[in-house]
Amino acid sequence: MRLRAFLLPGAVLLFVLGLPLVPFDARVYVMQELTLLFLYAGLAQSYDLVGGTLGYINLGHIVFFGLGAYTVGILFNVGVPLAAGLLAAIAVAAAFAAVVSIPFFRLRGAYFSLATFALVKLMEQIANNLRGLTGGSSGLKILAENRVVPTYYAMFGLLIVAVVTTLAINRSRLGLGMKSIREDEAVARDFGVPTMRIKAQALMISSAFPAVLGGLFVWYINFINPAEVFGLKMALQPVAMAMLGGSGLAIGPLLGSTFLYGLEEFIWTRFEHLHGAMLGLIVVLVGLFMPGGLARLRPVERLLERLGLKEDDQ
């Protein structure tokens, strides 16, 4: 990688790291927005490990987010420190991923998407019904002080880890196996690729990120309820972001989440009504006319090349 490849990421890094040091009230708003953007970008990036590299559209990615949020929230309330809670969240999510991968990865293509989508609703209902543990539909409250700056840094750090993980996996043997499954699973299996093991590994790795993000989310917001962390819109948003940006490329989910989140903010502030419809229209147009997402559009590709950020697209 040449030096100029570090120019844009470096500038972004400096801006993000330096922002909390700016002594203006205005930055609070920007930081809140960025925190949520990092959250969505992290979700989209980790979704894309399974959705883009492995080629299985996992509409239930948000399940791990909710699991992480509830694990950390419940443990926090009995006095477990955050770091231990986050580790527990990763363990819970990875264990859950390992268990569900056995029945679910026997399903192919859209069948898999259907079943994982149903999982979201199942988890929402279970969280609603286990009142003793989760507080049911009235939600779970934790007592914590103002955590704006630490959450901001933590979510940003996690996003960077997610991007680096994606890049590393794309170059690894595991990534090669995942891509071979995406292109033709039957052929991959016949050539000796251990498909079931690779799929389970991919899901487990991709589950760790939403679990930690969920834990940080509850720590930041101090309140969660099933309708929010297992909501259908919440489930579909990261998927839409990853596809919009360019599934299968490390830069794709980043571009997609920034674009969609920015657009959403723009629509919310400019128009009074029909925000959802406008957003829906954009999503439809992207699906119709940009099969490869933003990152594979000619002008964007050329720009990325000039910045030295273009990846091998296989």
Q: Is 308 helix (H, G, I), strand (E, B) or coil?
A: coil
Question: For residue 166, what are its two tokens?
Answer: 């994606």
**237 near 248, Cβ under 8 Å?**
no
CB of 282 to other proteins, least distance (A): 7
Q: Which is nearer to other proteins, 223 or 271 (CB)?
A: 271
CB atoms within 10 A of CB 53: 25
Complex with other proteins: residue 14 or 118, whichever CB lies closer: 118
Amino acid in the structure at residue 30: V
**Based on CB atoms, which residue is closest to other proteins, 115 or 159?**
115
Q: How far is the CB of 289 from other proteins (least distance, A)?
A: 8
Under a CB-based contact definition with an 8 Å cutoff, are residues 46 and 214 in contact? no
Closest approach of Cβ 286 to other proteins, in Å?
A: 6
What are the residues binding other proteins (CB under 8 A)? 51, 55, 57, 59, 103-104, 106-107, 109-111, 113-115, 117-122, 125-126, 128-129, 182, 232, 236, 239-240, 243-244, 247, 273-277, 279-288, 291-292
Alpha-carbon torsion (201, 206, 212, 214), positive or negative = negative
Closer Cβ to other proteins, 49 or 243, answer by number: 243
Pull the structure tokens for residue 75.
């443990």
Cite the beta strand spans of 150-237 per DSSP E: 223-224
Nearer to other proteins, 144 or 284 (CB): 284
d(CA 36, CA 56): 26
In DSSP notation, 237-261 reads: HHHHHHHHH-TTSSHHHHHHHHHHH
Q: How far is the CB of 44 from other proteins (least distance, A)?
A: 13
Give me the least distance between CB of 292 and other proteins, in Å please: 8
Looking at the Cβ atoms of 59 and 155, the one nearer to other proteins is 59
For the CB of residue 185, give the shortest distance to other proteins in the complex, in Å.
11
Other C-beta atoms closer than 10 Å to the C-beta of 131 total 11
